[in-house]
Structure 1
């Protein structure tokens, strides 16, 4: 009887989505995925785990842990992963493309507007309000993900150490990930009660079977999730040429010193070596785009990031802006706007095509490792560390949205960024506080919050109406 009462607390299992239904949801997520990876992951969790129950909590976190270990935009890779689980390769393609396409179209229009006008007062005023909303979205995501990932004092300690490591010690993100994984791997053996991979018992079983993907596994309907050498070689044979073929063709046609070869080569290398999302990629690309190639002035890189923060989709769309400006300023025989559009497309291709390769190649092996408690504990520790990294992102946003001046207090490259208290922008602080109250207290959605803050920005931004 007690077991029956426990089972009754879980709703009836949902039905598996059709391909068309899933495509509509991925399109909706792509349109509403503001707020960077933290907000995007929170949105997917709400839509896929809580609302529709297409994927269970533990499998969602397991997939997220893997995506956190990859170079490139982890939120888009998570969308590809879930889409692949539900509808094989076609599902992964649709999920990944629809996650990026709305933001890419907006970013293309913003890049063209920036190249043509640079300073548009109304646009700047709207951005002023949107940045306040983005800060609230990231804070809400830290709380949402933290509640699920920080299950005990060990996970809280890992998140705190991760935050201090990246904010104060300025450790690189890949090192933080590796240290967290090592702690989880060792902790699973030394203190399994603290580093356990998930829940056990009837409630866990009931919760698992209530998710579509878990039901599909139980019924043997996910044969594509079984790793085989032949399937892995097939993925490599298809996706390596898809990714690198256009880059190699541009090298042969335009030569090694053309802007097209430089854009394709730079972003292809970045797709392999840059971990930690848009802000990690920004430092790498800024050095090359500003110092090595001279495509942009230093302040223009920050402008591009500001544009990317206002679009749906991955923040790493800032690289699309870089590709647009680079080609726009070296168009050759092409019209500058046409060249900019092609440079933008090339940057998108080199940045996002590898994401499909990483998921289609690695996801079957990640699914096979779900039963390995030490691997699961290592990945859970990585997720806890990422909570600290996202908290660092929230602090970064707060410093740069609320204060006009931020000073790095570094000694030998170590130390935090601190605000100049006298430079506080009370209008930005008030808008950010209002956005947080709207989202955290009154549960207002992301899209209404963004729209409201953009409108208020037109009224209250410096120089606004």
Structure 2
């Protein structure tokens, strides 16, 4: 039975967007689950089918899929104005927090209490991500075939180290093939024939792409003209512009490359500082790719001329955030009209449904990666064919994180507490166990 949808006012959209932006902890899994609860379950602004269909499409685009999904929700409800509001409010709270913490990180002599606080928060985030994974798997893996795709994607990534684009595109090709012959295996329903936005969206797509490209490149042009191609701000802008168009699969997919370039290639960070930045990004609202802002801040902070270190760092952080997220808005505004057209293409619906199933495996792999690096202080490489698996050194298990993670699991799965109380309690628990 269909559920009647509610169309919110723009003020209502702003309030919910601000709430989502401030509570979007837990990486893409937790953020998508939060938006689903707020937008689909509680307010019925978007249908379940529309939400998952847009999520499928966002997984095909470079950049953080949760932020792009938020932008699409705003666009769906209030056009470009809504997309800008929802997308910006999803990013700005986390960007402000990361910037403040980056400044504190750069100036503070002793961050011991930081580490203790983050120990507890990271343990809580681990439990939150597991909860979100369970919820998303329950929604996306409705058939045995989809469950098999999810498990297969997890094995391909976790054990064999296959490239993320290959796994996702392969799942999409399989889904399109199967949808033509056995659509029931993917749960594909017949088209409802609903009209989409605009009869010919080509011109809108071209205009959005051209406008987005111009807005994207404007600050880079200013840096090039005023500071030249050898300045660190130009290097930061160009590097993260390139990164913005290859970040398929989220931040984890490009983390190792970014760390290598930032430490060994450009010398912006010292060894081990990337892990600190990831810890900051993991425990603040917004997309995990906000770790790029931490890198941009430190890179400019340490080579500030002709500015002061603080001014250079802030410019580097803002420039990094700009070139990282402007493309995300561009993709959505250019391609959003086509998302609804794809709802009337059974083969493409099957392909996107299969991609969603595979992405559950991707999220499961990222959850495993996160658990290993949160619960254990050291890992070692084990060869499996041509792939090197990163496995934990059991003796390096951190009992403090384990204890707080168990506490977080009890609070979430048994006590059914919300995200913010769990984070607060576990942050205090991290301080307590670190004092022992």
Asked if the contact 1:71–1:276 (Cα under 8 Å) also holds between the matched residues in 2, the reply is yes
2:390 is aligned with 1:417: yes
CA distance in 1 between counterparts of 2:332 and 2:308 reads: 37
Cα distance between partner residues in 1 of 2:418 and 2:189: 30
Aligned ranges for residues 123-202 of structure 1 at < 5 Å? 123-198=114-189
Matched, 1:448 2:421: yes
Q: CA deviation at 1:226?
A: 5.3
Q: 1:75–1:314: 8 Å Cα contact kept in structure 2? A: yes
CA contact (8 A) 1:159 1:386 kept: yes
What is the match of residue 205 of structure 2?
232
**Structure 1 runs, 4 residues or longer, greater than 4 Å off:** none
Q: Mean Cα displacement is larger for which, 327-336 or 405-414?
A: 405-414
Structure 1 position 195, deviation (Å): 1.9
Q: Tell which deviates more after alignment, 175-184 or 25-34.
A: 175-184
Q: Give 1:396 shift.
A: 1.2
Equivalent residue number for residue 214 of structure 2: 241
User: Is 1:52 aligned with 2:25?
Assistant: no
Instruction: Summarize deviations over 1:104-154 as a string: whole Å, max 9, x none.
Output: 000001100111125412111110000100100110011000001001111
Give 1:441 deviation, angstroms: 2.3
Q: Does 1:364 align with 2:337?
A: yes
Q: What is the rounded CA distance, in whole Å, between the counterparts of 2:25 and 2:298 in structure 1?
A: 23
Q: Does 1:268 align with 2:263?
A: no
- The structure 1 residue matched to 2:93, chosen from 92, 102, 106, is 102
5+ unaligned residues in a row in structure 2: which ranges?
A: none
Q: SS of the counterpart of 1:416?
A: strand
Structure 1 residues without counterparts, runs of 5 or longer: 1-6, 206-216
Counterpart residue number, 2:280? 307
In 1, distance between residues paired with 2:122 and 2:159? 24
1:315-340, CA deviations, whole angstroms, 9 ceiling, x for partnerless residues? 00000000000000010021101110
Could you tell me how far apart the structure 2 residues matched to 1:325 and 1:187 are? 49
Deviations 1:375-421 (A, max 9, x none): 01100111111111111111112111222222221245414322222
Give the 3 Å change call, closer, same or farther, for CA 426–117 of structure 1 in structure 2.
Answer: same
Deviation for aligned residue 1:445? 1.1
- Alpha-carbon distance in 2 for matches of 1:187, 1:428: 44
SS of residue paired to 1:194: helix
- SS of the equivalent of 2:230 reads coil
The number of aligned residues is 436
Q: Give the TM-score taking structure 1 as reference length.
A: 0.90
Query: 1:121 matched to which residue of 2?
Result: 112
Taking the TM superposition and a 5 Å limit, the aligned residue runs for 1:374-389 are 374-389=347-362
Compute the TM-score of the two structures, normalised by the length of structure 2: 0.96
